[in-house]
C-alpha cells in the first residue's frame, strides 16, 4: 500500500486550529523556546525545551526535541528544528559539548519543526531523510511553509526557510548504519508510524532511541493518527517496543527522555481504540455514533485529548477498520 504523508493543510487545520488557546497564537513560540541538553552517556545527548518536564507532567504540549551523538570523526544531530534561532541553539550545544564538526543530520519526518533548520547546517553536513520526506519537500514545500507561518505565527523565521535536498535517503523498510568513529548509529524505518517517512535513530552502546513524532511525549500524551492507518501505526509501535531492551532510553518527538515501558501507554491506547471501534462497526454504528460511543476515559489527562481522540484518532480508526 502506498504510504500517505500528512499535508501541511491537515496539520494546520487539525492540530493548530483545535489546540491553540488563543486565536492566531501557536501552542509554543519558536521565538521563546530555550533548549537544554542532557548527557545520557559518553557522546550521547538529548536536547529538549527547558520547560519540557513541567509541561509534559501536566499533559501540555511541548516544543520539539532531538539530540546528538558524538564520535571520533564528528557529530550526528537528530532533527534540525523550526527556525535559525533554534538550530543555532542546537549547534551551540554541539560546540559546547563536543567542538567537533557536524558530519550528519537526520530528520525524523518532513514536519517543519523537525527539518526546516537543514538550511542552516554547515555545508559539509550530510542530510539524511526518508525518501517520502524528500518527495514531500519536492512537491509541497512552498505550501507547507505558508501553513506553518499561518499557524506557528509570522516573524518566527519561517519566511526565510528554503528547501534543502537530502544527501542520503532511506527507503521503505530501510536501515542504514553510520560509523561516527567509535560510535555506530542505526537509522531505521519500522513502517508507517505517524506519517509515511518516519525514521527512528538507535545508538546501541548507550541503548538510546529517538522516535520523532510517533511517540509525542510521555503519558498522558496520546498518539496522533495524522495520516490515518491505525493498524499500521499500532504494528509499528509494537515492533519498536519489541526491539527496545527494557533498560533503553527513549527520546520522544516533543518531550524529555522516557523509558520503553512508557511506550506501552501509547500501544494500549491504540489497542483500546481498535477494539472499541471495531465493536462499533460490527454493531452497525455510523462514524458519528462511534465517536460518541468510544470515550476511553481511562486514557485522560492530555491537554489535546478533546481534539486528538474524537476528532482525529477515532475517525481514522473507523475509516481504516471499515476498509479492512
Domain boundaries, the chain: 8-262
Q: Give tens-digit pLDDT for 121-153.
A: 999 999 999 999 999 999 999 998 998 898 888
pLDDT for the residue 147:
83
pLDDT for the residue 21:
40
Q: In sequence order, what are the residues at sequence separation of 6 or more whose Cβ sits closer than 8 angstroms to the Cβ of residue 152?
A: 16, 26, 30, 82, 112, 113, 158
Beta carbons of 108 and 210 less than 8 angstroms apart? yes
Please tell us whether the domain made up of 8-262 is placed in CATH 3.40.710.10.
no
Q: Is 86 helix (H, G, I), strand (E, B) or coil?
A: helix
Give the residue ranges of the chain where pLDDT is below 50: 1-23
pLDDT for the residue 3:
42
pTM above 0.85, yes or no: yes
Cα(93)–Cα(95) distance, integer angstroms: 5
SS3 annotation, 100-126: CCEEEEECCCCCHHHHHHHHHCCCCCE
Phi-psi region of 15 (alpha: psi -120 to 50; beta: other; left: phi over 0): alpha
Of 85, 43, 86, 45, nearest to 64 by C-alpha is 86
pLDDT for the residue 24:
56
Amino acid at each position: 500500500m502506498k504510504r500517505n504523508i500528512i499535508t501541511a493543510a491537515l496539520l494546520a487545520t487539525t492540530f493548530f486550529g483545535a489546540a491553540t488557546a488563543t486565536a492566531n497564537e501557536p501552542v509554543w513560540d519558536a521565538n521563546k523556546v530555550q533548549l537544554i541538553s542532557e548527557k545520557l552517556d559518553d557522546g550521547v545527548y538529548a536536547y529538549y525545551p527547558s520547560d519540557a518536564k513541567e509541561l509534559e507532567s501536566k499533559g501540555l504540549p511541548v516544543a520539539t526535541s532531538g539530540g546528538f551523538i558524538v564520535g571520533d570523526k564528528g557529530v550526528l544531530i537528530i532533527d534540525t528544528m523550526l527556525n535559525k534561532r533554534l538550530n543555532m541553539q542546537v549547534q551551540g550545544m554541539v560546540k559546547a559539548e563536543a567542538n567537533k564538526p557536524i558530519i550528519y543530520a537526520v530528520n525524523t519526518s518532513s514536519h517543519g519543526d523537525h527539518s526546516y533548520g537543514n538550511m542552516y547546517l554547515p555545508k559539509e553536513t550530510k542530510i539524511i531523510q526518508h525518501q517520502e520526506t524528500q518527495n514531500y519537500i519536492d512537491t509541497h514545500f512552498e505550501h507547507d511553509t505558508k501553513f506553518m507561518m499561518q499557524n506557528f505565527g509570522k516573524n518566527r523565521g519561517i519566511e526565510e526557510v528554503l528547501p534543502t535536498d537530502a544527501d542520503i535517503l532511506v527507503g521503505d523498510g530501510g536501515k542504514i548504519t553510520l560509523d561516527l568513529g567509535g560510535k555506530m548509529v542505526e537509522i531505521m524505518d519500522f513502517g508507517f508510524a505517524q506519517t509515511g517517512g518516519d525514521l527512528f535513530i538507535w545508538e546501541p552502546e548507550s541503548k538510546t532511541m529517538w522516535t520523532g513524532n510517533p511517540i509525542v511525549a510521555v503519558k498522558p500524551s496520546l498518539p496522533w493518527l495524522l495520516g490515518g492507518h491505525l493498524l499500521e501505526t499500532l504494528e509499528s509501535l509494537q515492533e519498536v517496543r519489541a526491539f527496545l531492551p527494557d533498560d533503553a532510553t527513549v527520546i520522544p518527538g516533543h518531550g524529555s527522555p522516557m523509558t520503553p515501558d512508557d511506550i506501552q501507554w501509547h500501544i494500549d491506547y491504540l489497542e483500546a481504540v481498535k477494539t472499541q471501534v471495531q465493536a462499533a462497526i460490527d454493531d452497525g454504528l455510523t462514524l458519528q455514533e462511534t465517536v460518541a460511543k468510544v470515550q476511553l476515559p481511562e486514557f485522560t489527562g492530555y491537554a489535546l485529548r478533546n481534539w486528538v481522540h474524537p476528532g482525529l484518532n477515532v475517525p481514522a480508526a473507523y475509516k481504516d477498520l471499515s476498509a479492512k
